[in-house]
Amino acid sequence: MQVLGRGASCKLGQSASLRAMPIAHLALPSPLRHGFDYRLPAGVHELPPGVRVRAPFGRREVIGWLLHEAAESDVPAAKMRAVLEIIDSEPALNAELWQLALWAARYYQHPIGDALTQMVPALIRQGEPLRATLESCWRLTARGLALSEDGLSRAPKQLAALQLLSAHPQGLSETTCRALQIAREALKALSEKGLAECFQPEHAAKAPTPAWPALGLAQAELRLNAEQAVAFDALRKAEDGFRVWLLQGVTGSGKTEVYLQHIAQVLRSGRQVLVLVPEIGLTPQTVARFQARFRCPVLALHSGLSDRERMQVWRQAREGLAGIVIGTRSAVFTPLARPGLIVIDEEHDLSFKQQEGFRYHGRDVAIRRAQLENIPIVLGSATPSLETLANVHAGRYQRLELKLRAGGAKAPLVRCVDLRGQILTDGLCTAAREAMTETLARGEQVLVFLNRRGFAPVMLCHACGWQAGCDRCDAKPTLHRAPMRLQCHHCGSERPPPMHCPDCGSSDLRPAGVGTERLADALSQHFANTPVYRVDRDSTRRKGSFDVLMNAIAKPEAAVLVGTQMLAKGHHFPNVTLVVIPNCDGGLFSADFRGPERLAQQLVQVSGRAGRAEKPGRVLIQTHQPDHPLLQQLFSQGYDACAQTLLNERQLMGLPPAASMALLRAEAPQDSAPQELLSDVAHWLREDEPLVQAWGPMPAPMARKAGMHRWHLLLKTTERKPLHLALSRVVAWLEASPEARRVRWSIDIDPQELS
């Protein structure tokens, strides 16, 4: 193997002769789904797949990845360009992650170069070294090692630092010290007392790695209740190796405590843990809960990190310096030197699916990764997806259940309120208002869940019925009050609301319908002495504002919380004893076949926010369909029964998870081109691929968005394989076809939203 000194990458390509030259098959950041052949200089051979290279591409220079070396190529030798530089002496991704990348690109029909590019931090794809340069380290001196703990009993921070360092006689790097939250002043103070010293390791192999087993826990574990103990024992006693667990437990049943105790086991064996949470779940509170328990570095990959910080977390994980990595969807690709466990919290959450570009599902990629790394993976949820439940029924995943709330809290009481014939004020009926008044009078909190931000979803003319529309979408812009504007939530365009109706000239323009802004305004007037907190994307846009709201809500005082799904996930609000859902009917009649599943999940998740041990919660759901079978079954028999009914329906209709599905989308500024393109594909499939059912082409549910005309072709098979074979041919045809160039097309495997 060609070995290059670390950091000492070499410039190549000028002196090489053309003959007997090895060929490199490269993945380059390009929308094309094939590799590219380049010359390697003579003498360079047996490079490991996955090293980064710099190569000319068109008129640019790009960084790509070596897929493999090749003996020959279709590209004539005279036309073949040369690799400019081999950046790495080792692959950026280990063998398992490399396999994962190849698998994901194939499975999701995505260009491998682009998939790889999205798997690594921005600075790594721009060519920064894989490893950090050597840093200074800290260790105890002989005096420090000999000191008894009483010697520092009045300086707790120094004592904590001393304890951590004494568990690591070879020392800890500065980055690891920071990740372990060892105060810099404490290290300085120890060094002034001659108890610790800073030193420079001679080379990378001598750099110390922390050993988790020696560190112990920073916080005592809770005593598990009977159900938790059964789940924990099952995880603990399982044989090593790949296995998928579903930890199904209602909100507040203590799933996180089970993860934490199982994670402690894995860390004790010296291995690392990857925790994936939904976008809304990755809050400082979540990270703090993990950091409080463990003494190993717990690193979070959140959106507030700079590119450099992101790369540092990636490097630390890759070198085995991070004990736990917590992140959202894309963290699934974080390399781990010694992987031991993957945990996915709220596995049913839609944010695990990337909805554009590389449309992977973080949960499904994580399961494939666990299989390749041969480690267990735990999926946690109160409302598992139908896909996961089908795998449990098929015996592929093993289910562990927590049916009771930890600490003795009771399940909330749910009541549907029949809206038919009722008078509504700002979307709330009298019964809901009365229940709110009672709850607030007791000094407790009310959560009103309304998944529609802004002031009002429509602005209309009271004289002639005109409604404001978006110029670029088949959608109505939402009226926002602060600041006053009409904003389209689909294309983002904004404009001031008109003063007069463009059709009849009347100035009687009115907001219609209720959004969170309007509801929060109305409730602050109605409950004048009670704070009303609005939690949605608009009210939490400023950095840190979400935490400010959460702290205010944590006070045990009467308050009203008005919020979108941001309030429905991740957080438990112990002071909320009443949840009001003003309208759930949209989900009952959704055009998307997943609509009822999502509604059931959402209702259970929101309901789970209410109540605690001494104060049971209540949930009021306003609906015009109180007799709807879904609502009836959900509240009389629970989520599992409801999920089973939905699974049976999917089976009958031949829909996922009882079938495999892919969605081919096409859009263009002119209406005819996408439709014609998809018609050609559909026609060809019907002739040549009898196992594939093609539905469409049909206009997308929003047929025009951001000025583009959008069409769908839905593909379905009973077995997965024929679908993938057919899609490979469709893609090859689309890439070669001149008609396809006039259209923006994309393929979505296992689509989660048919929008």
Whole-angstrom Cα Rg for the chain: 29
* Member of 255, 295, 310, 569 binding ligand ADP (CB under 6 A): 255
Q: Which does 536 bind (CB under 5 to 8 A by kind): ligand ADP, Zn ion, none?
A: none
Please, which residues have CB within 8 angstroms of residue 257's CB and are 6 or more apart in sequence? 221, 222, 224, 228, 406
Taking the complex as a whole, how short is the minimal distance between the CB of residue 703 and Zn ion, in angstroms?
A: 13
Q: Which is nearer to ligand ADP, 89 or 228 (CB)?
A: 228
Is the distance from CB of 91 to CB of 49 less than 8 angstroms? yes
Stretch that binds ligand ADP, among 60-68, 237-245, 254-262, 515-523 (CB under 6 A): 254-262
**Which listed residue (10, 77, 204, 222) binds ligand ADP by CB under 6 A?**
222
| 225 or 398: CB nearest ligand ADP | 225
Residue 228 interacts with ligand ADP (CB under 6 A): yes or no? yes
Residues 6 or more apart whose Cβ sits within 8 Å of residue 110:
33, 104, 357, 358, 359, 360
What's the Cα-to-Cα distance from 78 to each of 39, 172, 441, 501, 578, rounded to whole Å?
10, 53, 84, 68, 75
Number of H helices, E strands in the chain: 22, 31
The answer to whether 754 contacts Zn ion (rule: CB under 5 A) is no
Cis amide bond preceding 556, omega within 30: no
* 128 lies in the binding site for ligand ADP (CB under 6 A): no
At 709, the amino acid letter reads: H
Hey, what amino acid is at 311? M
Shortest separation between residue 607's beta carbon and ligand ADP, angstroms: 13
* Binding positions for ligand ADP, 381-420, rule CB under 6 A: 406-407
If binding is defined by CB under 6 A, does position 13 make contact with ligand ADP?
A: no
- Hunting for tokens 């800073």 — which residue is that? 198
- Per rule CB under 6 A, is residue 556 in the interface with ligand ADP? no
Choose the contact partner of 253 out of ligand ADP, Zn ion, none; CB within 5 to 8 A by kind. Answer: ligand ADP
- Using CB under 6 A as the binding rule, whether residue 256 contacts ligand ADP is answered as yes
Q: How far apart are alpha carbons 192 and 516 in whole angstroms?
A: 57
Question: Binding Zn ion by CB under 5 A: which of 198, 441, 504, 698?
Answer: 504
CB of 251 to ligand ADP, least distance (A): 5
Contact predicate 91/27, CB 8 Å: no
Stretch that binds ligand ADP, among 112-120, 249-257, 316-324, 739-747 (CB under 6 A): 249-257
Options 464, 552, 641, 698; binder of Zn ion; rule CB under 5 A: 464
Closer residue to ligand ADP (CB): 161 or 404: 404
Q: What's the min distance (Å) between Cβ of 475 and Zn ion? A: 5
The single residue listed with the structure tokens 């003795």 is: 408
Cα–Cα distance between 626 and 416 in angstroms, integer? 6
Of 374, 506, 507, 636, which lies in the binding site for Zn ion, with binding defined by CB under 5 A? 506
The site that binds ligand ADP (CB under 6 A) totals a number of residues, namely 15
Q: Produce one character per residue of 130-142: b if its CB has 16 or more CB atoms within 10 Å, e if not.
A: bebeeeebbbbbe
Residues 470 to 499 in contact with Zn ion, rule: CB under 5 A: 470, 472-473, 488, 490-491
Q: Does 451 bind ligand ADP (CB under 6 A)?
A: no
* C-alpha–C-alpha distance, residues 86 and 95, integer Å: 19
Rounded Cα distance, 51 and 66, in Å: 6
Question: What is the spatial distance between Cα 577 and Cα 574, in angstroms, rounded to a whole number?
Answer: 8
Residue 460 binds Zn ion (CB under 5 A) = no
Q: In 3D, which of 675, 680, 682, 670 has the Cα closest to residue 714?
A: 682
717 binds ligand ADP (CB under 6 A): no
Options 223, 237, 541, 543; binder of ligand ADP; rule CB under 6 A:
223
Q: How far is CA 617 from CA 97, 207, 410, 435, in A?
A: 45, 54, 8, 12
Under the criterion CB under 6 A, does residue 225 sit at the interface with ligand ADP? Answer: yes
Q: Which of 137, 419, 446, 461 binds Zn ion (CB under 5 A)?
A: 461
Nearest approach in angstroms of CB 262 to ligand ADP is: 12
Report the DSSP beta bridge partners of residue 152: none
Q: Least distance (Å) from ligand ADP to the CB of residue 281?
A: 10
Question: Least distance in Å: CB of 380 to ligand ADP?
Answer: 7
CB 665 within 8 A of CB 702: no
Q: What type of residue sits at position 587?
A: G
For ligand ADP, the closer of residues 194 and 556 by Cβ is 556
In angstroms, the CA 64 to CA 62 distance is 6
- Of the residues 29, 35, 171, 249, which one makes contact with ligand ADP according to CB under 6 A: 249
Q: How far is CA 259 from CA 25, 233, 236, 245, 534, in A?
A: 42, 12, 11, 12, 31
Q: How far is the CB of 228 from ligand ADP (least distance, A)?
A: 5
Q: How far apart are CA 181 and CA 195, in angstroms?
A: 19
Tell me: does residue 657 bind ligand ADP (CB under 6 A): no
Contact 350, 753 (CB under 8 A): yes
254: left (phi over 0), alpha (psi -120 to 50) or beta: left
Element (H, E) at 153: none
| Binds ligand ADP (CB under 6 A): choice among 227, 257, 364, 536 | 257
* 102 part of the interface to ligand ADP, by CB under 6 A: no
- Smallest gap from residue 668 Cβ to ligand ADP (A): 46
Cis status, amide bond into 657, omega within 30 of 0: yes
Indicate which single residue of 13, 50, 121, 254 sits in contact with ligand ADP (rule: CB under 6 A): 254
List 118, 158, 253, 605, residue binding ligand ADP (CB under 6 A): 253
Contact between 549 and Zn ion per CB under 5 A: no
Residues lying near ligand ADP in the complex (CB under 6 A) are found at 222-225, 228, 249, 251-257, 406-407
Residues lying near Zn ion in the complex (CB under 5 A) are found at 461, 463-464, 466, 470, 472-473, 488, 490-491, 501, 503-504, 506
